[in-house]
Amino acid sequence: MKEIILVKYGEIILKGGNRPVFERALMKNIKNALQNIADIKMDIAQATIYIETEPDRMDAVCDRLEKVFGIVSVTRACVCEKDIESIKSAAISYLSGVMEKGTSFKVEAKRSDKKFPLDSIKIAQEVGGAIDDNIEGLEVDVHNPDVLVRVEVRDAAAYVYSTLNKRAGRCGMPTGTGGKATLLLSGGIDSPVSGYMIAKRGVEINAVNFFSYPYTSDRAKEKVIELARILSEYTSKINLFIVPFTDIQLKIRDKCPFEHMTLIMRRFMMRIAEIVAKKTSSAALITGESVGQVASQTLAALNVTNYVCSMPVLRPVIGMDKNEIVNIAREIGTFETSILPYEDCCTVFTPKHPTTNPKLDVIEKSERVLDVDELIKEAVAGIEKIEIYPE
Ligand code: ATP
Ligand code: MG
């Protein structure tokens, strides 16, 4: 019996005249994601992408598709001839063995090929009757079935599957259809989640990390690389820019009031990230800030750090509690890496009593003793670019 994978997509369908652009992007992303997994044949028709592959690669392909943005569901289906007898016998052999005794089921049919002689209600009745007669121990329940069996009669063939073969996709929009943004990626929990959330909307991301060698170790750098790699499983390639930050931090520590250290540091980060963003054609920055989480994330502090850049700063976790962010981090697979105990550049130079209600003019005045432009120029000149690919 021949099996095929049906990929359904959601929001793209609402795109009107632009829909083919989104469909092509999704197909390209699927092809990229599967290139090291299996040889595939892919087709698109009637708002469904059809993927054929070797039987022993089916599971691996479905697993990989689970991480591709823009997909609403991934279903293994049995393909059969478009006549009711073939559909019935395909349904019986496909479902016997998988539907356990005592399971209740319902058949729903859809006939997009209107030339097919039976309408959808009739198809469902015929197939439901055949399953009931031939697979022992099942019950029909049209209101609240354990398993929903679907029959789709389409242009190319008929397909039979059940909710047992169907998995939810990630949803979102295909990567690359939403422009590009630059993520300030620390080794913490919040910024990888933020990158994921914006990437899910189809935005291609690259990442900037501020690195304070020798105050932070190579292991801290490896951790950031690993976080970017986990994100790249969803987005494909990510360019990671490692910015040498030690000189800037030492200058701030030596010349500015220590309680302003974090904020001034954050202002440097935003400025440098914006330079990287412009160079890489990004239209926005992304951070993992959440109101009130730490002193540098009060509204007054956010205003002070935001002031130095003109690009929009996307903060997708801004209104989330820590445990809500942690739940997403666990779900997307970044949590275990984020909690590895290596120091981050911010924690190395954190004042005990940071300002929580900073005034912009006060911070600007503290900062004025520094040659901001020169420090930025030096840091940018020392940037290391690392290209990161999914495993
Ligand atoms: P995270 O969990 O993302 O580290 P956080 O709660 O520790 O966030 P902060 O350390 O105040 O928050 O940093 C706020 C945001 O600034 C981070 O979410 C991240 O976007 C950015 N950021 C902080 N440190 C760095 C760094 N070393 N490199 C790149 N970005 C950073
Ligand atoms: Mg942090």
Indicate if ligand 1 lies below 6 Å from the C-beta of 327.
Answer: no
CATH number of 180-388: 3.40.50.620
Q: Which ligand is nearest to the CA of 182?
A: 1
| 212 CA closest ligand 1 atom index | 27
Fold of the domain spanning 2-168: VC0802-like (3.30.2130)
| 293 CA closest ligand 1 atom index | 6
| Residue ranges of the chain assigned to CATH 3.40.50.620 | 180-388
* Residue 117, pLDDT score: 93
**Residue 25 in this model has a pLDDT that exceeds 90:** yes
- pLDDT tens digit string along 329-345? 999 999 999 999 877 66
| Residue ranges of the chain assigned to CATH 3.30.2130.30 | 2-168
- pLDDT tens digit string along 364-374? 999 999 999 99
**Residue 346 in this model has a pLDDT that exceeds 70:** no
Q: Which ligand is nearest to the CA of 296?
A: 1
* Residue 351, pLDDT score: 75
Angle between helices 84-95 and 120-134 (to 10 degrees): 40
Using the mean position of ligand 2's atoms as its centre, give its distance from the Cα of residue 271 in Å.
18
Indicate if ligand 1 lies below 6 Å from the C-beta of 350.
Answer: no
